[in-house]
Structure 1
Amino acid sequence: MNYKRLETFVWVASLGNFRKAAERLHTTQPAISARISGLEAELGVKLFEREGGSSPIMLTSKGKELLPYVEKILYQTEQLRKRAGLSTAYSGVLRLGVSETIVNTWLPDFLSRLNKDMPNLDVEMTVDITANLSNGIKDRSLDLGLLMGPISEPNIVNRELCTFSLSWVASPNLNLPDRLLYLEELAKWPIITYARATKPYVEINQKFRELDGPPAHFFASTSLAACRSLAIDAVGISTLPNIMITKELEAGSLRKIRAVWTPSDLTFTASYSDEPFNPLAEVATDLAVIAAQEYSKKQAQ
């Protein structure tokens, strides 16, 4: 039985749309229709009700009955590949969403491992804030997200990757006192931080809103590299992952600021939807976990 036909059946059933299934499988809508028609002819049953227009494509009663069996066949096929070590058999496109903190740390090692283990795989990468990446995982426009997680949805798999601590930093040119500082003292300068709609921004903004006196001013950015540059140029005070400021601290272009409060650590997960079963995301997640663990070991040495 043709594997691509079975795979197409599962994705059309999941997405309820031939066009979306074609985008997901990187083929044309006529090709999707041909695969479904071929599978229906092979099985001798009608799998979908095609009402036309913008209406979702619905499974027939027979389609609903057969769907779990097809999903099981696909799952067992992928498990066989894994057991046999046939990672080179994986091909297609992995749509990867990545938080910038990961981009600036162990992403290169992860992509190297991915290329070595799955040389026939193409990667389409999106670097964005976690809120957008999370939406991409939920609507299946992304296969895998390396993001600040977990994503609390019943069909989302979350694998823990790493945790990064944050510090307040500023340019020595700001001449901040070398002592424990209150947040009111930091608020005299622009607070350079993560983009709005991110967990760190919400936490920091809430903390400064609780203070008496004039409101703090925020310079929010989706680019942590930009935040670091602004801090180096003495535009304001920033909160950044410690792993991103090691060289700057050693060179003296930044120094850590001791404050009465520091934002919570950032926890990252590899998150993907397993409905329908997503073998590329599962195998890539295993490699991401290894890359993150190796990076953490090196940083601890």
Structure 2
Amino acid sequence: MTFEQLRTFLAVARMGGVRKAAEQLNISQPAVSARVASLESYLGTELFSRVSTGVVLTRKGVLLRDHADQIMAITERIKGDVMAEDSISSLLRLGVAETVAQTWLPDFLTELHRNFPKLNIEVSVDISLNLREMLLDRSLDLTILMGPISDYSTDNLELPPFQLDWYRPVGLEDPDLSVTPVITYNRNSRPHRELTQELRDRYGSTAQIFPTNSLSTGFEMVAAGIGVGILPHVLGGKFIEENRIANFDPGWQPTPLRFTATYIGEPRNELIARAARVAQQVANSHHEAVYG
């Protein structure tokens, strides 16, 4: 009985099938099946029963899962307590929201490489809704997104908020928000939902929202005179210095964006947990540098 057999057994048990377990472990389906078959042969008992939707644990399988969970948890604690960070060689699949990608992501990647020089990192930049689905589907290991994610399997480390500001074209001195389009985050985001409700409550059904998946495009739309914007304070300074946009105050301010470093906490992976803590440290340093 080997660690790889137990790790593979747990993946099949969690994912409910060989195909999804193979995708999570990044190995072939025949390799997954072979490991499970070898484990069953060694133990002399069936661990899974086939059902229409995949596989489920047998009674003996449930007993093994409890023992295997403990073994893997101890293994991860050993890694965390004993293993030197510069000896860790693995792959980290990182998913990041665009707000972070345009601010402190480079500092985070630099710090990760400094702490884990043998670590390979794959970065995906997407909207928080998609990042959430990819994390829960186990196609990402760590996500920096508008959180937290309320799921029993996830751990969330709170990150400093991003302040949102109002921006207007330099030639539009007093925008009328009942008719002037408001440019902001994509429609599947919390800022878009909150803004929709706020505008309707304050200005009625004539208020318009122009959502965008690209923050850079959003600022360019404001600069071009298409509308005003509710966009991150940390990214607006460059456009203001170039005299392409200006701040204004309509009498109310949007809620700051809440971000979390979120990862699958069950089963625990000490490397991912460490990387999340590094993200939290870098985010705190960046927030302090920007806002003091």
- TM-score tier by shorter-chain length is over 0.9
Contact 2:148 2:156 in 1 (8 A): yes
1:70-219 to 2 correspondence within 5 Å? 70-174=68-172, 176-177=173-174, 185-212=176-203, 215-219=206-210
Gaps of 5+ in 2: none
1:47 and 1:122 map into 2 onto residues whose CA distance is 34
1:244 Cα deviation after fit: 0.9
Q: Say if 1:125 and 1:8 are closer, same or farther in 2 by CA, change over 3 A.
A: same
Which stretch of structure 1 is more off in the superposition, 205-214 or 281-290? Answer: 205-214
- Tell me, in whole angstroms, the C-alpha distance in 2 between the residues paired with 1:103 and 1:213: 35
Partner SS state of residue 210, structure 1: helix
Q: Name the aligned partner's letter for residue 28 of structure 1.
A: S
Residue pair 1:71, 1:277 contacting (<8 A) in 2 also: no
Contact 2:46 2:60 in 1 (8 A): yes
Q: Is the contact made by 1:11 and 1:276 (CA closer than 8 Å) also made in structure 2?
A: no
Q: Contact between 2:177 and 2:203, CA under 8 Å: does it hold in 1?
A: no
Match runs of 1:191-270 below 5 Å: 191-212=182-203, 215-270=206-261
Question: Alpha-carbon deviation of 1:214?
Answer: 5.7
The 8 Å contact of residues 76 and 269 in structure 2, kept in 1 or not, is answered as no
CA contact (8 A) 1:169 1:240 kept: yes
Taking the aligned partners of 1:253 and 1:293, their CA distance within structure 2 comes to 30
Deviation of 1:46 (Å): 2.5
2-side partners of 1:18 and 1:293: how far apart?
Answer: 40
Aligned CA distance change for structure 1 residues 300 and 78 (closer, same or farther; 3 Å): same
Shift of 1:298: 1.8
* Contact residue 186 and residue 213 of structure 2 kept, 8 A: yes
Deviation, structure 1 residue 213: 5.7
TM-score (norm 2): 0.92
- How far 1:155 moved relative to its partner? 2.3
The match for 1:41 is 41
Q: Distance in 1 between matches of 2:49 and 2:109?
A: 41
- Which whole-Å deviations, capped at 9, do the CAs of 1:70-119 have from their partners, x for residues lacking one? 11111211211111243345444322221111111111111122223333
Q: Quick one: distance in 2 between partners of 1:39 and 1:113?
A: 40
Pick from 54, 64, 68: which aligns with 2:62? 64
3-state secondary structure, aligned to 1:49 = strand
Question: 1:91, 1:45 → 2: CA distance?
Answer: 35
Contact 2:76 2:268 in 1 (8 A): no
Match of 2:266, SS? coil
Unaligned runs of 5+ in 1: none
Q: What is the aligned-residue RMSD (CA, Å)?
A: 2.0
* In 1, Cα distance between equivalents of 2:240 and 2:268: 45
Q: Residue 205 of structure 1: CA displacement?
A: 0.9
How big is the shift at 1:232?
Answer: 1.8
- Runs (4+) off by over 4 Å: none
Q: How many residues align?
A: 292
Q: Is the 8 A contact 1:208 1:215 kept in 2?
A: no
CA–CA distance in structure 1, aligned partners of residues 53 and 265 of structure 2: 25
Q: For residue 295 of structure 1, what is the aligned residue in structure 2?
A: 286
- 2:3 aligned with 1:3, yes or no? yes
Quickly say closer, same or farther: Cα 1:40–1:90, change in 2 above 3 A.
farther
Letter in 1 for 2:187: R
Identify the residue that residue 273 of structure 2 maps to in structure 1: 282
My pick for the range that moved more, 214-223 or 97-106, is 214-223
1:297–1:211 Cα change, 3 Å: closer
Cα distance in 2 for partners of 1:248, 1:258 equals 17
Find the residue that maps to 1:124 and give its secondary structure: strand
Percent of aligned pairs with the same residue? 38
> What amino acid maps onto 1:165 in structure 2?
Q
C-alpha deviations, 1:211-268, integer Å up to 9, x for none? 4566122211111111011112222100111111122222322211111112101111
2:18, 2:10 → 1: CA distance?
A: 11
